[in-house]
Amino acid sequence: MASSLSRRDFLQTGGIALTASLAAGAWAAPRTEKLRIGVVGGGFGAAFHWHQDPDCVVAAVSDLRPDRREHLKNVYGCDKAYDSLEELILDDSIDAVAVFTEATNHGRHCVAVMDAGKHCISAVPVATSIDDCRAIVDAKVRNGVRYMMAETSYYRQETIAARRMYEDGVFGEILYCEAEYYHPGIGAENDALSKYNGERTWRHGLPPMWYPTHSTGFLVGVTGERLVSVSCLGETDDDPGFQDNAYDNPFSNESALFRTDREHMFRCNVMWNMWSHGERAQWFGERTALFMAGWAGQPFLAKIDGQADFVPPSDFWQMVPEAMRYDSGHGGSHPFLTHEFVRALMEDREPSVNVYEAVAMTAPGLIAHRSALHSGERLDVPSFDPE
């Protein structure tokens, strides 16, 4: 579709709308009551801002490793520590639990949290099997609690800009999207994250598409589309990590082509063994294309219907309290994720990356890996959305 949208038009329709959207999304004043959260997992779980949100207090922490329990206590200024998640969720004073355990345990851990009557936020992915995706959806519905997945790509500031541009009609329809997550070395035999004390961790030989949300979140989290079918190819690797692992996975790199429920195409890469790094996306609309900054020097840039290139607004720190306005990882997304979960519970509403968004970002990767194991056979992706 042709359009005469000019740079001035963009500033009028997109820039002003973005400013208005930003103002509407500014953080709300604190209430008198505070959310009492328990944090489980002293690795990545120590990288969030619970103690700096004015509506939240860390009431307890837990990790199986004593050194990580102490780390959590120090980071969050919390004296109450439990030896396990199973013990922590019995604490009646806790309203919600942040689950930052191994990805392969998210299914059972999140179900246990919600079955204990507590709200839950977890690291990505929501689960590593289709059955566990279903179990988490069922647990959320059964217990009447809230669930959120801490998908960092959703709150990278470039993605916030893309989402606002889409909502404000700057793209028109997004017809095609490319997204990628490159993390060299993950899953390999000698990777530091694949071993602990000489024993294999859950990352050893991990299928790339079992960890898809840093890519799929760039489309699902912008347009709300669902990925309904996929053909995926995998690249085998002679590293011992991909010759002998708990997943019978031979692939260190996987590339998938999805069809969406709006009949659009989405190319998604997740790769562990190539010379590149980072998480990024490119969105191609009817009259605007947007490119995230890239590892090789690509700038953050919008190209608008043959007009002059434009750098969209990408400073959204006003959405979070002042004490949280700093980058603690993954493109500055951590404070936004933290604050969104707290605000959702304080306001008694579903969070942005709720359980249905979480499985819509996760399940397509699980099916994509099945496709790769069958030489790219096109497979349907199940829907978990309520009918």
3-state secondary structure of 234: strand
CA 387 – CA 359 distance, rounded (Å): 15
Q: Are 98 and 37 in contact (CB under 8 A)?
A: yes
What pLDDT, on the 0 to 100 scale, is given for residue 32? 59
Mean pLDDT over 133-144 rounds to 98
Token pair for residue 275? 């010379």
Token pair for residue 57? 């207090």
Q: Which range (13-27, 213-227, 373-387) has the least confidence?
A: 13-27
Q: Are 381 and 259 in contact (CB under 8 A)?
A: no
One CATH from 3.30.1440.10, 3.10.20.30, 3.40.50.620, 3.40.50.720 for 35-152: 3.40.50.720
- pTM for this prediction: 0.91
Topology of domain 154-318+353-380 in CATH is Dihydrodipicolinate Reductase; domain 2 (3.30.360)
Residues of the chain with CATH 3.30.360.10: 154-318+353-380
pLDDT of 32-50, one tens digit each?
Answer: 589 999 999 999 899 999 9
pLDDT of 148-194, one tens digit each?
Answer: 999 999 999 999 999 999 999 999 999 999 999 999 999 999 999 99
Percent with pLDDT over 70 in the chain: 92
Can you name the residues that pair with 376 across neighbouring β-strands? none
Q: Where does the pLDDT of residue 308 fall: very low under 50, low under 70, confident under 90, or very high at 90 and above?
A: confident
Computed on alpha carbons and rounded to an integer, the radius of gyration of the chain in Å comes to 21
The answer on pLDDT for 27 being more than 60 is no
Residues of the chain with CATH 3.40.50.720: 35-152
Q: Are 13 and 310 in contact (CB under 8 A)?
A: no
What one-character DSSP code corresponds to residue 198?
T
